[in-house]
Amino acid sequence: MKSNEELIETAKEAAKNAYCPYSQFPVGACVLYESGNVYLGCNIENSSYGLSLCAERNAISTAIAAGEKSKLLKIAIYSPKSTKCFPCGACRQWLQEFEKGQNIQIILEDDNNGLCLYNINDLLPYSFNLI
């Protein structure tokens, strides 16, 4: 399985593919599943801004489209424009949806190129849940 450092490096590579002509804020994400599989995503903007897709949701959608059925364990998120590039509220809810009791680990880079680790339950303690 990839280390946290490898996951953030992969997220950095994914950020290079971002389509962000409006915000100029590229973001890359890398998700790790229990199977050991890794999937990438980058943000993709649209002039109708509500139709834009965040990197985190792109990575999870890619995993689902590829048929991934195991548990989501970790996500690394990176933007060259910001340290500690936290997921937005919508992405936090998506992460909670797919956490399946794993309390997903969120990996971010800090100001000194070190890593900061958070859990989704810490970032979204009162998530919406129909189950």
Whole-angstrom distance, CA of residue 107 vs CA of residue 79: 12
Residue 56 has a pLDDT of 98
pLDDT in tens, 45-78: 999 999 999 999 999 999 999 999 999 999 999 9
Residue 100 has a pLDDT of 74
Q: Give the model's confidence band at 130: pLDDT under 50 very low, under 70 low, under 90 confident, else very high.
A: confident
Residue 40 has a pLDDT of 98
Where does 4-123 sit in CATH, by number? 3.40.140.10
Domain spans of the chain, in order of start? 4-123
User: Rounded to two decimals, what is the model's pTM?
Assistant: 0.95
Catalytic (active-site) positions: 56
* Element at 106 (helix H, strand E): strand 105-109
Residue 83 has a pLDDT of 87
Whole-angstrom distance, CA of residue 129 vs CA of residue 131: 6
**Greater pLDDT, 130 or 75:** 75
Encoded tokens for 121: 């339950």
In sign, the C-alpha dihedral spanning 34, 38, 42, 44 is negative
In sign, the C-alpha dihedral spanning 116, 40, 121, 124 is positive
pLDDT in tens, 90-129: 999 999 998 877 789 999 999 888 999 999 999 998 888 7
**Greater pLDDT, 40 or 112:** 40
Residue 24 has a pLDDT of 97
Crossing angle of helices 89-97 and 55-65, rounded to 10°? 30
